[in-house]
Structure 1
Amino acid sequence: MAKASKRKARGEESEPSVTVADSGNAAASNGGTAISGVVNTLNVQQRALPEPTPWPHQVGVIPSPARSFQHRAEVDRLRTAVEGSGTAVLSQVLTGMGGVGKTQLAADYARAAWDDGGLDVLVWVTASAQSPVVAAYAQAGAELCRADPADPEQAAKKFLAWLTPKAGQRPCRWLIVLDDVADPNDLVVHPDDPGNRYSLWPPASSYGRTLITTRRRDSALFGEGRRRIEVGLFTPAESAAYLTAALAAQGRSEPADQLAALAQDLGDLPLALAQAAAYLVDSGETPAAYRALLADRATKLADLTPDALPDEQAAALAAAWSLSVERADTLRPAGLAQPMLHLAALLDANGIPQDVLTSRIARLYLAASDPRRAQRPKWWHFRRRLSLAAVTPEEAFGALRALDRLSLIDHQPDSPHQAVRIHQLIQRATRDTLSPERHDQVARVSAYALMSAWPEIERDTDLAQALRANTEALTHHAEAALYQPKVHLLLHRFGRSLGESGQITAAVDHLIRLADIARSRLGPDHLDTLSAVGDLAMLRRLAGDRAGAARGFAEVLDSIVRALGEDHPYSLVTRNNLASMWGELGDAAGAAQALAELLPHQVRVLGEDHPSTLTTRNNLALMRGRAGDAPGAVQALAELLPDRIRVLGADHPDTLTNRGNHALMRGQAGDAPGAAQALANLLTDRIRVLGSDHPDTLTNRGNHAHWLGEAGDPAGAAQALVGLLADRTRVLGADHHLTLATRDNLAYWRERAELSAGNPGTDHS
């Protein structure tokens, strides 16, 4: 006879009952993401891990070739695979000041290596900060070695380990380009935590090559086995050859002495020469006439000197930039190039999504900046002006083409997530023309433009990463503007996106900083401050720290009641969240009592059909069921469901949650078969609406397995949990509290299945 099992059955997994709501509900008008009782967790959308992508494979976008790319001595040195001493070159570092063409040299090297067929894998990384490096490695890991993109750091580690040749495996010939490293410390993750510290430098391998471009000259960049290549200005001969080739491509020939003099005026700076060549080609001016314009403009712009350049080059670039912008603004659609450049100057130099710069909010700004379209000189009223002559998406696109035509940006429409690249010195020159007031106004327009392009559910991970990179760039250039007169919604969306992408530590750090700044600028009781604290509490709940989440909601509630009163919508919503957290911590009776006291206040203030009121009814029924009144909970949830469908629709996540809780309470009330069948029906709808890896879908699968076992099919429960455990490990990680609970449940139902089959199994006494 089988021994009686002493393992205790684990209860079903809870349906989520609190969250941070989207920015569109009642509290959003106050600034931040509102704290709400709407049941809807962070949308972690993960795909099933595909088979590794076959070689050859490229990750990242190589910048397009510059017009009339100039062959230089550095090109030959880059392609020399062995030093004079016979040592193989595995890592090379291109260093030099801005505007000398480091990125173009790296791009030429990468394209040549790829076209020659000597590479299996090419990874181009924009390395201006640590997060895009980790994200690029994580993408490579997901595509090449089945790493889980839900955990970017682990995926990045797996990719770096994969680069090292393994015995018995086909070696991979790879090239990794880290373009524009701004700080060597960005290539070390968790430097102060020896247990988690790791380097983002690719490993030394006889099959691999690493190329870095940077303005920095820190010793940390030039260790053993890394060849340093200094990139300077063009030589006079290279400058003359560049200008000659650029003009010859358009059928023009100019006197050599005039081209040499123009190159000297521009200090042989490649970036300034590119501006001049584009201007000469587009305008038809002679070099002599352009030199006269340049000299006059340089005198007028004596104070406009971009950083990272000697005085002569700075003045020359500023003058060339000014003439090019002026020329671009005359091209059709006239008057739109310069304001478009304003927007690009505050975003990510390494890639701006086209949809951001052609969004409705961006086009309104373009229209308001064009005096022929906007009568009123103060353009910042444009959101209220209905008389503005509209700028169409086609005209916004035309403004990008005009800037590209004058070499002010690199516009690649075929790469929509990184359609616009712009040199940092051009960004700096553009920002320096903006008054402090205009600078802040452009920053807020840019923030709204990013928000307009940000999807509610991040199914496109490349787009999400590009939007995060642009938000980081905007924050770097104009953080103060995003806290005036209140916290911009973009900062809350950025934190949520970090959480959705699995970067929990980064999300927590961002929200702590957001809360601290909001507290110092706006005060501890401002709704934006409280929203940030509420966001942080919800993030802690999702990470499994329910006690920390409860403390966060309690802090928010005390502040809201003190500042705004007990009947403020924030107060009511936060009371729901806090009470629900008490229930999740084990005090279901106390939670039910608190929610019962809350419900009449919500009905009076918000109304019977308000989503938060409906959520409180849901949570009250759920907590009463957990406290022992399962039949009453079944009835209350059944009565609530028609109201949910009427107000929100049958496919709304809250409605689906209502159905899930109703099924759970049916099981608690003794109808295990009915619960299992209801959860099976619900699972189909959740996969259709939310996706197979959404947290609610995974919870549904766990609950279905539990009640399947309670209905008399322990083997079926165990089988269902095997698949769930694999998916939870992939999506959430092996150490997540829900993954651990699934593992325990699997062991329990396997033991029950063995006992049912008459197998003595293992004595767990």
Structure 2
Amino acid sequence: MSAIDPRKIHTRHDLTQQLAQLFRDGGWSIHRLAGKAGLSTATVQAILKDDALPQAKTLSAFVRACGQDPAPWVQARGRVVRSEQQAKQAGPVYLPYRSATFVGRGQALARLTAALPAPGAAGKAAGAGGVVVQAVHGLGGIGKSALVAHWAATHLAEHTLTWWITAETPAGIEQGLADLAVAVMPELAGQPLEALTAQAVRWLAGHTTWLLILDNVTAPAHIQPLLARAPTGRFLITSRLATGWHQITSAVVRLDVLEEDEALGLLTTIVTMARPGASLLGAARLCAELGYLPLAIEQAGAYLHQSGLAPLAYLDLLAGNPAVIYDQAAEGADAERTIARIWRATLDRLSDTPLAGQVLRILSWYASEAIPRTLLEEMGEPVLVQQAIGRLAAYNMITVADDDTLSLHHLVQAVARTPDPGDPHRAEADIQAAQNQAIRLLDDAIPANPKEPADWPQWRILLPHITALAGHLDITDATDVLAHLLNESGLFLRDQGAITRAISHFQRTHAASTQSLGADHPSTLTSRNNLAYAYQTAGDLERAILLFEHNLADRERILGTDHPSTLTSRNNLASAYESAGDLKRAIPLFEH
């Protein structure tokens, strides 16, 4: 959990969160803390679950009972009071989106404050040297809107107007400006939309120290005319789009997932809201499984709060019914704000890029980081492949690193490889095709000889992705191409001394060969021999001997007693007997 620090408290919400964490960390019950603090249980409950502002005396009693010095907490309460008094003096405010469970984001908030300094502060202030534009971009569900809304709410006193516009389309921008015009000039109510929009732009051009938030901008070109006609004030922009901002601003923040303790704090806050004793068993595991993605954690927390389940139970549901869970919102929540639907909307925007969906589905089978871009070269026309990579990166669905490798959030991968008949981007046939192509592309990329030292660096680059791919598949997914890929990687691992990992690959190879080629196929018998040899190398002679005996019997039956492969099997079994100290059985086989 985040460290308790009353110096970080600036709003009622901040105060409530820190007091709730103080309560949880101490392992208190409502009745026990109320008794020690000399407060009623109703008062303690109100402190923990409402954004009410406790009296200084009440606050002091609460934190003193928790073993804290009341002085910094009373000072924090004073800051909240002063901030609220200043906010009352601010101009018109429209902030429809503000999360009551906002946590963390200290560095991102500090970057916004530095880029948008208060009027009169050192550096460039809005209205003192022209317009100030700040853009925040990131993956859908990463928390851009929550960040911007929280920053704006804590800086109301700095602005003559704070106004939020949902800027997904030019029509949305127009409507938002028309609403602004009526808010600052009520006498204009009833005028045509075009006239109101023009009046809003004139008002912005004639005033300073305002803050206009343009949320979920889909194309910088949609807002460029507005920025050009409003040369003073501040614009704060959110977007899933990572590129194109250089034409508008150099002040860009890329928002990433929450820190581990922040994610755990968010889940805990939602689950225990009005239910301080709710079970948090498995909470840390659930946050890790969700990749510390804010929207996914909010979605899970709301479901747990509604159902009364523990996080561990949610993990079981996620494993058994991923398509349903990824797309399920709690009762009363916005059904369109689930991770599955948010990312579906992004892919809808990329529907004019034919390979974008297929690239994402292929990448979903690999490890989430350091995927060689060269792996995708053979999947289609080079120009179309690179276009798809570029557009996915532009919308923050994937990231292109400086070393030309690709990465993506592992929850994006999990959703992309989970079939859903209601999602056109996740049809079962398309996901199966992507899985087969992911296997083939890796198999084509592995070096021909696992023993060649010059090729070892390439093996080390590809191994994490081979291992991840194998971990996502079951026996029904087996193909001869997969069997070859796993066998070759197993040979490399064995020769590198990574015998435990080699055994895992050989086990999967044998299962894949048996499934795809049949139990008597020469490749299946070779895979069994490689597995037996790996067991022998690891010192597990009992399992090695069983497999060697099985192989010799099958080769004598299929190939005859004098076939070279049969002779090799006989020698291998004799060697295993010898290693086990069973010379009585080893010698006759060597003599045969």
Q: Same fold judged by TM-score > 0.5? A: no
Which range, TM-score by smaller chain?
0.3 to 0.5
Q: TM-score, normalised by structure 2?
A: 0.41
Taking CA–CA contacts closer than 8 Å with sequence separation of 6 or more, which of the two structures ends up with the larger relative contact order? 1
